[in-house]
Structure 1
């Protein structure tokens, strides 16, 4: 039965729900802090003979617990070693029971299918997409790949399952440490998502990835840690646990179920195990293989890139039945005593289901753990320890000298720190290439460039046949240039599983669609909300039980928000809706024009049409992800401004006005004397930033692929130095890519109203010119330099902000010169005279500046 639009059950009203959502989900207060804030709130209401929304933390928790939506209870089971035990003293690990907590994945998957928030973002049938003009195959969301198509073909052959919608269950797991300071607190979360959900929804963290379990982590005394029986037991424990967790899904893999979907339709569905997202260490366990072997093919560890026959569970089972276990280990890399959990489920082959892993294989593995480390080893081998340290210090100073950029993690001390996160590795990739140029052989720079290009190509939102060709070319170049690490004596062997994984990416894309939908980055983000934050809010004693309950409540609050949103109950401001319901005045429901907060906001903006839609430059939360917009690109001035009655740059304004007024006449201010240009001596409003919004689906963005970046022009940033950002400006529509644009540095945003009544939002900019008409052969980046007039003054102009595309990031061309000690990152754009246009700063720039 449909709920009424004023049914907030189990909450009394919107204020209660918003309060619970803020306290429990956003702020994640401890029980003690909840009681304190409610106590203080209660004092302010006591004079009005009123009470806060909740009496105490128990009242808040009980209200959330009463939510029926999203309720999937936690269950547990225990496993223990049940094979032959030695006579005499038995190792502790053989005696212990290992507890596994999980939530029924069947119920979780059904809840995902019924989630109204995913309406319009789910594919119920596999598809192949081709571009009409050149018949290019487009690989995008998971259901666009060949694997889902093949599964559907197999399902259709059975009369009992023919016509059922295929629901692939994608699994992921990744051990994580919540605190090293208080002891090694490790957890082994297990995640689930369904492959039908579009990649953009998964990447926007819209609860498309669900926590379904915590696997056990066996531990033993050091003297037993290398015992082969113990190591095999740990691996089989994982398989047995996974088999038991997903057992409830097994009947639905052969017998279709009728299930309600988010679009309101009921469908016959049939489940199947899909790809498993895991790093290489976990892939070794999942594929029941020996370390250093590949889980997808039979390539020999000493020469992985020669390739080998694809593995399959039929071939593995045949070998296990006919070949000695010692030969299996040595010649096939198979641990014959282990049984993969996929053997318990129909149409599942673990060798086929090992997903690509951009984060651990490419970014943290190959880039950071391999190539960056090898550079240090090369420098020490060539120059000795003392000189190598000096060069590494300069590389660190070069990294630290990178100018600021929205969202860029800044390495103030270079890359010399011990605890690396995935975000650290991603940030270093963006600025590392120019930092090593001049300190290492060109072949090393080319090897880094090829790997970076491979990473950025494979991360694109839509992969085409042409993209796969580019991918293969980048891989070929990487294999060619990485041999420099062998010829210089840094490495004897470069046959490594993480690097070998690159040869499988073309097939994996064809099978599973664009890899950004299967990247372990989505699990890394989920770790924070599902594991680390619940652990921090726990008492730390028996923390797991508290973490389980916290996750259950978080799911309930999220489900309630989706329900209220879909019923139109969260439109407009909470403040006005509360007063509206309090005074029972329906005329203002959902009407932002009557919202005092909106009116006050508009009053602050002075009704500036270029200010209403964007926020202040220092509103960090407004940067990045943008939902519910559908434009290619847009630039808006910030709300914050101050009026100044000044007479700055009158000549530049006159030239600008002439070009604006005669834009359709094909005339230019350069062709007429200054006296023929209109003059303006009125007031000017100075702005400190503009917000550029553009489509960037391959970057962290909203579900519509929109992203926002603030371009700053601040004379003093946080009471410190100036902050004048650079930007791409459209200057020549006859070309594509970088040849259609110029790079500028923005010194000021302003607007003024001319006598014709038209308001002009503008920017005072300093031009950069292209050093060459082609990209740098070594780094692959365009090179620009600041432009100066004959008298040495800056080459300045005023442009309309409509010509600004987005922010640009420049990295100094260091050459072989060492960075001066004391150089600060905010001085780099003034000190250096040649720059690379950093196309690795994000994926949108990678495409834009190609």
Structure 2
């Protein structure tokens, strides 16, 4: 789940319009503030800055999150003083009051502008009366408490008692009017006495509703890394967890923790996400089943399935006792764990609960109008679906070493669209990097001993041959051109925001060291392939129906004398895995194993249009990992693998119902 403040721009407008707080024709600029006290020096910890940034929710999310687009401005710096002039007993309260006084001065222009509006020239050239209204404040837990005048041992959004934060109990939410009445002198119920909170005069805003979920500090660095990972590592053993991460299979964009995770001292948000993408597979077999049930809470929710999110959180509370029973935790009085209870309410708090059907009907009508206008612009500017390839040109290298690949240099193999999805285009480099490869050189370079037999079978069965023409046959002297990479644009999924537009599938042979070059390991990615007339009861009616895992060993073109009109000539040599088995009752993961024909892997030549996309497999480690396993040879030593549905957002959204 990734709650974005901008998703409620239209809802905020409707709330104020239906309550009669804004005049007819008013335009809202949804103000989003963010602040974070930052250390400026790693050698001297006493140097710090406290910047405050401002952006608006009317700007598209992807634009706001891209630093080079300058979607946010620096509003100012807050004093990062230690307040040594105050006594230890009053220093904390003085810090609260100083923060609010400075923020009040910074945001003073928003008071009149929010109440009466300001005439501004919009992007379409029209002049509108715009009301800038504070809608969201992005901050970590200490600053959330500072903003809401709440002590750090209490919740900044509700009146939950500080000693009961580990329990799934309901509590009254904090009310801005009630808080303003008592905050100046009241020190109980977790409040700090602040004479004039900066948000007291801001119109049409509720500071407690504006506090958004802090995914980085509350989930990634907080509950997951500081608590759940620590508990599971203590149960399974540090060496066991490290060895499992070291043995994990590679995947594009997935960091390989070659030294394990216990020695890493400085973590980034991206590394936390990459660690979580394989976490359930790492835990499988290493910890008790109840621990698996408790850990699943962080891998089962999406922004669309709010009921599933609440259910997953209840599931964690039902099984959290295992950590106490195993002696790794005494209590769960953790502020960041309690904050997760407010996530669903934060997402749902987009309406004033009045005339819900009328509000949502108007909102949907406006969304349809926007979609129609975008479709008109696409038609007018001739922006077709294949522009995704142009937009991601940085992802498609010219594999011949001559620089980037232009749109005119891309070889495209079209595939018929599937219902509800964008038509997929299989993109290859214009100039194959491996040229004039013989059958013997392919076997030696790519390790594909069955290439000749598989291609002969393909030409004999898959390619129809008219009776008047001789049968096509391949010889050992035929030459083939091969590619390092196949790129497939991801289907456009409205609920999923992905920075990567292209799914890249590699078939790169091993390059031995030579001179100053250290060489490189071979890379043959796993893919999901459309099967033909194979019925699997374990996947029937699911997204995985008619799909089977395979490993791409070679991406190549047929030579001219073996091509036929109307038949594909961009082909791939794959090694099959057996059909999916039933899901594991504990981890709910589908298991697969490599398919063999005798002693050799079961190989087949297929058109690249049958490749639906890449996938990631996690070895089935068992209760204790075999220390002889290595990532480069894992397919020769490990017999069973799990299909990983958490490897990226597209896979998670695609497989969430499997």
For this structure pair, what is the TM-score category when the shorter chain's length is used for normalisation?
0.7 to 0.9
Q: 1:700 to 1:507 in 2, by over 3 A?
A: closer
Matched, 1:501 2:363: no
CA displacement, residues 79-103 of structure 1 (integer Å, 9 cap, x when unaligned): xxxxxxxxxxxxxxxxxxxxxxxxx
Q: 1:714 to 1:308 in 2, by over 3 A?
A: same
Match of 2:389 in 1: none
Match of 2:153 in 1: 292
Counterpart contact for 2:548–2:580, Cα < 8 Å? no
How far apart are residue 371 of structure 1 and its match? 0.6
Match of 2:244 in 1: 398
How far apart are residue 494 of structure 1 and its match? 0.9
CA displacement, residues 20-61 of structure 1 (integer Å, 9 cap, x when unaligned): xxxxxxxxxxxxxxxxxxxxxxxxxxxxxxxxxxxxxxxxxx
Match of 1:701 in 2: 498
Match of 2:221 in 1: 364
Choose which of 144, 169, 184 in structure 2 pairs with 1:306. Answer: 169
Q: 1:603 to 1:818 in 2, by over 3 A?
A: closer
Secondary structure of the 1:469 match is helix
Match of 2:556 in 1: 750
Q: Any residues of structure 2 matched to 1:417-432 within 5 Å, and which? A: 417-432=264-279
Match of 2:488 in 1: 692
Q: 1:211 to 1:157 in 2, by over 3 A?
A: closer
Counterpart contact for 2:29–2:130, Cα < 8 Å? yes
How far apart are residue 219 of structure 1 and its match? 2.2
Matched, 1:434 2:281: yes
Match of 2:454 in 1: 652
How far apart are residue 162 of structure 1 and its match? 2.7
Q: Any residues of structure 2 matched to 1:521-540 within 5 Å, and which? A: none
Whole-angstrom distance in 2 between the partners of 1:700 and 1:168 = 21
How far apart are residue 611 of structure 1 and its match? 8.9
Choose which of 527, 537, 547 in structure 2 pairs with 1:727. Answer: 527
Matched, 1:510 2:348: yes
Counterpart contact for 2:240–2:624, Cα < 8 Å? no
Whole-angstrom distance in 1 between the partners of 2:503 and 2:596 = 28
Counterpart contact for 1:142–1:196, Cα < 8 Å? no
Choose which of 633, 648, 653 in structure 1 pairs with 2:424. Answer: 633
Counterpart contact for 2:436–2:480, Cα < 8 Å? yes
How far apart are residue 692 of structure 1 and its match? 2.4
How far apart are residue 655 of structure 1 and its match? 3.1
Q: 1:785 to 1:229 in 2, by over 3 A?
A: same
Q: 1:183 to 1:309 in 2, by over 3 A?
A: closer
Q: 1:641 to 1:253 in 2, by over 3 A?
A: same
Counterpart contact for 2:618–2:642, Cα < 8 Å? yes
How far apart are residue 283 of structure 1 and its match? 0.8
Match of 1:166 in 2: 28
Choose which of 581, 587, 597 in structure 2 pairs with 1:779. Answer: 587
Whole-angstrom distance in 2 between the partners of 1:483 and 1:146 = 40
Whole-angstrom distance in 2 between the partners of 1:244 and 1:140 = 24
Counterpart contact for 2:286–2:624, Cα < 8 Å? no
Matched, 1:612 2:406: no
How far apart are residue 153 of structure 1 and its match? 3.0
CA displacement, residues 324-367 of structure 1 (integer Å, 9 cap, x when unaligned): 63xx42xx111133543111211222112111122211111111
Secondary structure of the 2:90 match is helix
Aligned-residue Cα RMSD (Å) equals: 3.4
Matched, 1:177 2:39: yes
Whole-angstrom distance in 1 between the partners of 2:170 and 2:400 = 67
CA displacement, residues 754-804 of structure 1 (integer Å, 9 cap, x when unaligned): 34255511111111124523x222222221111111x22101111211122
Counterpart contact for 1:401–1:825, Cα < 8 Å? yes
CA displacement, residues 623-659 of structure 1 (integer Å, 9 cap, x when unaligned): xxxxxxx955332123442212423623322333455
How far apart are residue 685 of structure 1 and its match? 0.5
How far apart are residue 253 of structure 1 and its match? 0.5
Aligned pair count reads 565
Match of 1:352 in 2: 209
Whole-angstrom distance in 2 between the partners of 1:772 and 1:415 = 31
Match of 1:530 in 2: none
CA displacement, residues 709-754 of structure 1 (integer Å, 9 cap, x when unaligned): 3221111266132211111223379844123421111111111243
Q: 1:318 to 1:811 in 2, by over 3 A?
A: same
How far apart are residue 216 of structure 1 and its match? 2.1
Whole-angstrom distance in 2 between the partners of 1:183 and 1:299 = 34
Counterpart contact for 2:433–2:482, Cα < 8 Å? yes
How far apart are residue 839 of structure 1 and its match? 1.2
**Quick one: higher RCO (CA 8 Å, sep 6+), 1 or 2?**
1
CA displacement, residues 568-622 of structure 1 (integer Å, 9 cap, x when unaligned): xxxxxxxxxxxxxxxxxxxxxxxxxxxxxxxxx799899x99992389xxxxxxx
Choose which of 803, 812, 815 in structure 1 pairs with 2:622. Answer: 815
Q: 1:473 to 1:692 in 2, by over 3 A?
A: same
Counterpart contact for 2:83–2:95, Cα < 8 Å? no
Whole-angstrom distance in 1 between the partners of 2:399 and 2:524 = 27
Match of 1:383 in 2: none
CA displacement, residues 811-839 of structure 1 (integer Å, 9 cap, x when unaligned): 11101123315x43222233211111111
Q: 1:298 to 1:165 in 2, by over 3 A?
A: same
Match of 2:56 in 1: 194
Whole-angstrom distance in 2 between the partners of 1:603 and 1:284 = 56
Secondary structure of the 1:372 match is helix
How far apart are residue 434 of structure 1 and its match? 2.2
Q: 1:676 to 1:739 in 2, by over 3 A?
A: farther
Whole-angstrom distance in 2 between the partners of 1:251 and 1:338 = 21
Whole-angstrom distance in 2 between the partners of 1:375 and 1:645 = 50
Matched, 1:737 2:543: yes
How far apart are residue 194 of structure 1 and its match? 0.9
Moved more, 145-154 or 478-487: 145-154
CA displacement, residues 293-339 of structure 1 (integer Å, 9 cap, x when unaligned): 11111111222331211111112123347xx63xx42xx11113354
How far apart are residue 187 of structure 1 and its match? 2.7
Match of 2:514 in 1: none
CA displacement, residues 217-275 of structure 1 (integer Å, 9 cap, x when unaligned): 11256xx8981322222222222222211222222101122211122222221111111
Whole-angstrom distance in 2 between the partners of 1:194 and 1:449 = 35
How far apart are residue 480 of structure 1 and its match? 1.6
CA displacement, residues 354-397 of structure 1 (integer Å, 9 cap, x when unaligned): 11122211111111111111224445xxxxxxxxxxx3112101
CA displacement, residues 63-112 of structure 1 (integer Å, 9 cap, x when unaligned): xxxxxxxxxxxxxxxxxxxxxxxxxxxxxxxxxxxxxxxxxxxxxxxxxx
How far apart are residue 810 of structure 1 and its match? 1.0
Whole-angstrom distance in 1 between the partners of 2:528 and 2:173 = 46
Match of 1:319 in 2: 182
Secondary structure of the 2:564 match is coil
Q: 1:204 to 1:296 in 2, by over 3 A?
A: same
Match of 1:803 in 2: 610
Q: Any residues of structure 2 matched to 1:83-162 within 5 Å, and which? A: 141-143=6-8, 146-154=11-19, 156-158=20-22, 161-162=23-24
Matched, 1:246 2:93: no
Counterpart contact for 1:188–1:214, Cα < 8 Å? yes
Q: 1:738 to 1:481 in 2, by over 3 A?
A: farther
Q: 1:443 to 1:295 in 2, by over 3 A?
A: same
Secondary structure of the 1:828 match is helix
Counterpart contact for 2:36–2:140, Cα < 8 Å? yes
How far apart are residue 210 of structure 1 and its match? 3.0
Whole-angstrom distance in 2 between the partners of 1:187 and 1:731 = 58
Runs of 4 or more above 6 Å deviation: 601-606, 608-611
Whole-angstrom distance in 2 between the partners of 1:338 and 1:372 = 42
Secondary structure of the 1:695 match is coil
CA displacement, residues 3-26 of structure 1 (integer Å, 9 cap, x when unaligned): xxxxxxxxxxxxxxxxxxxxxxxx
> By percentage of residues, which structure has more helix?
1
Question: Please, what TM-score do these two structures have when normalized by structure 1?
Answer: 0.61
Q: 1:492 to 1:632 in 2, by over 3 A?
A: farther
Match of 2:393 in 1: none
